[in-house]
With several copies, the nearest count.
Chain A
Amino acid sequence: MVKVEKPDEFIDEEGKRVDGRDLNELRPVKIEANVLNRADGSCYIELGDNKIYAAVYGPREVHPRHLQEPDRAIVRYKYSMAPFSVSDRKRPGPGRRSKEISKVSEEALESAIFLEKYPKSVIDVFVEIVESAAGTRTTSLTAASVACADAGIPMRDLIASCASGKIDEEIVLDLNEPEDNHGDADVPVAMMPRTEDITLLQMDGDLTAEEIDEAIDLAKEGCKQLYEEQKNALKSKYGGK
């Protein structure tokens, strides 16, 4: 059993968090598009210690066929964690947490894709968490949408995603592991940055209506920063500077 200890205070007198970040600061991020050869599109992302690969296959034929939709493509999103990606080895195979994350991520991504262009087909998105350090669902989604773009799938916009949360009575951006484990609330958000339409929203914890609004505001800021990184990653692969 590895325990992530709760720090005495999450925020010091100077307003810095345990890892030295400001309240509204993302962890260091690195995004690279087109990193795998077999997949139609792919992306590698690091956010803090998170290390995640996303790959996209499709639009392609649906098997089994009874899953086909006559007038649109379906999206299948598979979030999975390597057994060695977490402190205590995770048994292989999807648990209930992975299933739920896959479902809400699938729905978040669907919103951005012009599904009606590819009737009867499927877009398969596979996400593999190689190292996990709080924020994997949102970070995966950020990578998955870059992989979709890399695969040439027509989209309304990219999906950028990050979480905000509450620690020591403050709303902060992008929780790290001790903040995620011992904080008061976690608010994962995904959006299409151009229109600010929110396509994923979850909340765990205890917040007032005002705090939720504040948390969404902050998450939006984070999403916009990630959006720039996403576009840079795609540009550096496909030129167009």
Chain B
Amino acid sequence: MDEEIIAEIEKDYIFDLIQKGTRSDERNLEEYRDINIETNYVKKADGSAKVSLGDTKVVTGVKMETGEPFEDTPDQGVLITNAELNAMASPVYEPGPPGKEATEISRVVDRGIRESEAIDLKSLCIEEGEEVWMVFVDVHVIDQGGNLFDVSMISAISALLTAEIPYEQYDKDPEATSLNINTIPVSCTALKCGNGIIYDPTYIEERIGETRLTVITDSSENIVGMQKGLGGSWTQEEIKEVVKTSTQKGKEIRKTIKSSI
């Protein structure tokens, strides 16, 4: 009970700060926390990245296998993206199959990769209709410090950028050593709190947000995905502003990714 009262007071404090244009960790409203990317972290994976954004921590591993293509895309490799919110990451997560939150994250990250055409799925065809490469991207959140969309997207694309196709293991002729990724999709998440719109929200800021908007941009600064979340609503003007700021922030994050791999 007491703990809840303290939490309420803290929330009010954070909300008030945002109305004044600042934040409890002294960032400005649009500022991201420090990003730290360590690629090739897991040797047994074909690609991997451990990423922290402030105190949010995510490990992503990429594994590739050969398998059958989907019936409606016989000449394309298969991309499967999963997100796991490990019970260790937060007091409110529980072990078990992915819930609504994990499902939404995995689908948004998947769309970011897919719609930006970051991976040329046709290059992953081994024999049309028979055998293709299946690319499994497993995003594991181990410390939930807020803004899981953005950090999941960063870790997924970082792991893919450094992935190597396991030709030898599957006795296949090597055609390329890596996945040949030409564009880097980056997501930026905005949160509306009263009159303020903040970016890269922390775990506690997310508790006071009224509504959320994630915008994914690619290397040409086109928009390749959007996802509104939480109750609450956005005006069209606000959306315009978020799209603009996210494009700008995405550019900076993309630079950080490039310099880390």
The residues of A with any CB-CB pair to B shorter than 8 Å are 1-3, 36-39, 42, 49, 51, 53-55, 57, 60, 78, 80, 82-89, 92-94, 96-97, 99-100, 102-104, 107-108, 110-111, 124, 126, 128, 130-133, 187, 191-192, 196-209, 212-213, 216-217, 220
Contacts and interface: CB of A to CB of B under 8 A. Distances in A.
Interface of B: 41-46, 48, 55, 57, 59, 61-63, 65, 71-72, 82, 84, 86-91, 95, 97-98, 100, 103-104, 106-107, 111, 115-116, 136, 138, 140, 142-145, 169, 203, 211, 213, 218, 222-236, 239-240, 243-244, 247
Contacts of B91: 38, 57, 60
B236 A196 contact: yes
Contacts of B86: 80, 126, 128
Given A36-B143, A78-B87, A197 B233 contact: yes
B234 A53 contact: no
Given A130-B59, A198-B233, A203 B84 contact: no
B226 A212 contact: yes
Nearest to B65: A89
A92 B140 CA distance: 11
A96 B225 contact: no
Given A89-B63, A103-B100, A128-B140, A198 B115 contact: no
Contacts of A37: 55, 143, 145
A206 B44 contact: no
Contact of B227 (A86, A104, A206): A104
A221 B138 CA distance: 38
13 contacts: A1-B72, A53-B88, A82-B138, A83-B61, A83-B138, A96-B98, A103-B104, A107-B231, A130-B42, A131-B42, A199-B231, A209-B223, A209-B240
B110 to A, nearest CB: 9
Contacts of B211: 111
B103 A99 contact: yes
B96 to A, nearest CB: 9
Contacts of A92: 82, 84, 97, 138
B228 A201 contact: yes
B239 A198 contact: yes
Nearest to A90: B63
B61 A84 contact: yes
Contacts of B230: 107
Contacts of A82: 42, 59, 61, 84, 138, 140
A103 B212 CA distance: 13
Q: By CB atoms of chain A within 10 A, which of B97, B233, B244 has the most?
A: B233
A197 B234 contact: yes
Nearest to B232: A111
A3 B70 CA distance: 13
A84 B48 contact: yes
A49 B116 CA distance: 31
Contact of B103 (A85, A86, A103): A103
Given A89-B63, A104-B227, A84 B45 contact: yes
A88 B138 CA distance: 14
A197 B143 contact: no
Nearest to B218: A206
